[in-house]
Amino acid sequence: MGRDHPFRARAYRRAAVPAAAALLLAGLCTGTTPVGRAAALPRQEFDTATVEKLDAALTKLMKEAAIPGLNVGVWIPGRGTYAKAFGVADKKTGTPMKTDLHTRIGSVTKTFTVTGLLQLVDQGKVGLDDPVSRYVAGVPGGDAITVRQLADMRSGLFDYTQDQKWLAGMRADPYRVYTPRELLDISFAHPPNFEPNAKWEYSNTNTILLGLLIEKTQAERLRTLPTGVPGISYGLGILDSGGWLGHNGEIPGYESMAAQLPAEKATLVVLVSSDIDHNGKNLSSLVGNAVTSIVTPDHLWPAPVPTAPH
């Protein structure tokens, strides 16, 4: 998620899960049975007409947007399932995309991080209106920035991914692993963009801080949270678009999207083997829109931007 579009998610920290694991969102967002349990997913396919429409729409989009390969999974109880791989994962080798492919999911991890945070809030270990300075030292203006503002992208802290020197280094060595403190040092070398809570602006720095907060509070590395505890729902650290709750992710060479539509208990996962925009729009959102236009036409991802009245 960049500054100018609420459905762009450029986060370059490493994260890898199979497509099915990303569907843990279904259990987290609505309190339904976590999707890691096979019984929670419908096994029958959609009707033939729907499958043919999806195949045609995705094949057309791949051609128009020059998408090398993608995985798409849709699960809607009572209606069916659709899980297919298209194209290639690697243009150079021709390795085909597979539905069990492991890939890095980028900013989709933000939903996991904030869910872990809210579990700590439920346990009384963290307060959403606590200053971040209570948990992490050295944050510019940390006494005035709350945990809630970090999760809601209203802290004003500079997004380290906008630092030109960092961008040049990432492009030169996309496999370098940065520590959280290194990323914070890059961010804190810049003044905040605005006073806390003055406005909304996406910043990956916020979630880095939340990860450190969780690790300090739990006294362990953030590796296994969230655990899939049922009954969790939230509006922080997650997008609400057309009734779909989820997040996009974008890292060098790949894009991802995972979301659930509580109204129909529908789950959608998208993995794309490219991060090159098409007509100024990121690919995972284009795929999500193509799919939801067919299976949930009254609930689109991303939702149409309202037109200003004349």
Active site residue ranges: 107
C-beta of residue 284 within 8 angstroms of C-beta of residue 299:
no
Q: Which of 64, 72, 19, 74 is nearest to 267 (CA)?
A: 74
HEC sequence for 242-305: CCEEEEEEEECCEEEEEEEECCCCEEEEEEECCCCCECCECHHHHHHHHHHHHHCCCCCCCCCC
Estimate the crossing angle of helix 283-295 against helix 48-65, to 10 degrees. 160
Here the tokens at position 232 are 């969790």
With CA atoms as reference, report the closest residue to 184 among 211, 147, 215, 144: 211
